[in-house]
Homo-oligomer: A and B are copies of this chain.
Amino acid sequence: MMTPLIFITNDDGYYSKGIKALISVAREVGDVVVVAPMMNSSGLAHSLTSSRPLRVHTISEIEGCRIYACDGTPVDCIKLGVEHFCQRKPDLLLSGINHGSNSSINVLYSGTMGAAIEGAVMGIPAVGFSLLNHSPEADFGPSLPFVRQIVGKVLDKRLPEGVALNVNIPDTRGEKINGMRLCRQSKAQWLDSYEKRIDPQGRPYYWLTGRFECEDVGEDTDQWALENGYVSVVPTTTDFTAYEVLREWQ
This protein's copies in its complex = 2
Say yes or no: is A237 at the interface (Cβ < 8 Å to chain B): yes
B-contacting 9-mer, from A19-27, A59-67, A142-150, A240-248: A240-248
Other A-B pairs beyond A79-B190, A108-B117, 13, CB < 8 Å: A42-B51, A45-B45, A46-B47, A48-B208, A55-B204, A75-B109, A117-B240, A122-B189, A163-B242, A166-B240, A185-B241, A235-B242, A235-B246
- What interface size band does chain A fall in? 35 or more
Stretch at the interface among A91-99, A191-199, A223-231: A191-199
Residues in B neighbouring A49, C-beta threshold 8 A: 43, 208
Q: Does A219 reach chain B (CB closer than 8 Å)?
A: no
Contact residues in B for A118 (Cβ distance below 8 Å): 108
Chain B residues lying within 8 Å of A248, measured Cβ to Cβ, are 160
Is A47's CB under 8 angstroms from B162's CB?
no
The contact of A121 among B45, B76, B189, by CB within 8 Å, is: B189
